[in-house]
Amino acid sequence: MLIASGPSSQELGKKTAELMKAKTIAVASKRFPDGESYIRFDDELVGEEVIIIQTASPPQDTNMFQLFLMADTAKDMGAERVIAVIPYLAYARQDKRFLHGEAFSVLTVAKLLERVGVDQLLTVNARQKVLDEFPFPAKTVSAIPLLAQYCKNKGIEEAFSLAPDEGAKDYAMEGAKILGGGYGWRHKERDRHTGAISFRDEEYDVKGKDAVIFDDIISTGGTTADSAKMLKAQGARRVFCACVHPLLIGDAEKKIMNNGAEEIVGTDCVPSPLSKVSVAPLIAKTLLGR
């Protein structure tokens, strides 16, 4: 088994390989002045199982294309199996055809991965239901317990765990298992044409208590900012925001902090200054436990 850390997950790949005590292979990469990517393996791959760790956070298309180049080249060089670890699986939110004629984007990604020789996929906090439609084994694991543990280690205990929508309900449940303090979720609706979101809330058990918002993604920050504001309005003492994939587009961080949050914590599925929790132990354990 050889671990290849792609350009977008150098640190995470290194940490994972160390935890697995696995052999690593060097991946040389560069971008040409026009933006095209270059990839080169420096080792022999004949007959090997190659695990490529490459997240597909922004710039999604570039990172995904570099993964295509690595997988295809590994197979061309004689690798027997290629396992793609894509901690942030770009396009996973378009996991069905919501409107007539729309691209079913994540399935297009799956077909391309299969075409370049990927035999298996491991990702973090995507929806297993759509992964089951992939033309090869694809699995997701959850980093929410790691985020909840980070909060607990900071002394945030008996906090209420909130999911900003029903789809994230399991995240709040996972958080509550570690933090205690109960859990709940908001009712969110999104206009599929304009993208505008609206919420319906109940009274949550947060008066005078700490609260943690758990979500898979913070993109523009609108969902988390609104949730933080709602929790404060309902009397929460302190509000923490924990997400697996901190995309933090534009002024997302500022927006959330301005709405009463104490701290935002993310994982290194998406490298950012707020990615204080590493998913390396989770990935290593999952790969070793196959």
Contacting residue, 48, 95, 119, 216, with ligand R5P by CB under 6 A: 216
Q: What's the Rg (C-alpha) of the chain?
A: 20
Pull the structure tokens for residue 119: 């035999």
For the segment 14-73, give every residue that binds ligand R5P (CB under 6 A). none
Stretch that binds ligand R5P, among 25-33, 57-65, 114-122, 212-220 (CB under 6 A): 212-220
Q: Cβ distance 116 to 72 under 8 Å? A: yes
Q: Which range of residues in 41-49, 210-218, 231-239, 263-271 is near ligand R5P by CB under 6 A?
A: 210-218
Nearer Cβ to ligand R5P, position 215 or 268? 215
Nearer to ligand R5P, 7 or 246 (CB): 246
Query: By CB under 6 A, is residue 181 in contact with ligand R5P?
Result: no
Tell me if 250 contacts ligand R5P by CB under 6 A: no
- Tell me the C-alpha to C-alpha distance, in Å, between residue 147 and each of 61, 160, 182, 211: 27, 14, 16, 13
Please compute, for residue 4, the number of CA atoms within 13 A of its CA located in the half-sphere on the CB side. Answer: 31
C-alpha separations of 175 from 121, 170, 213 in Å: 25, 9, 9
Neighbours of 191 (CB within 10 A): 9
CB-CB contact of 130 with 106 (8 Å) = yes
The answer to whether residue 168 forms part of the interface with ligand R5P (CB under 6 A) is: yes
Q: Which helix (H) or strand (E) holds 62?
A: helix 60-76
Any contact of residue 221 with ligand R5P (CB under 6 A)?
yes
The catalytic position among 15, 75, 188, 255 is 188
> Is 169 among the catalytic positions?
no
- Indicate whether 218 belongs to the interface with ligand R5P (CB under 6 A): yes
266 near ligand R5P, rule: CB under 6 A: no
Q: Which residues are catalytic?
A: 188
Binding residues vs ligand R5P (CB under 6 A) = 164-165, 167-168, 215-224
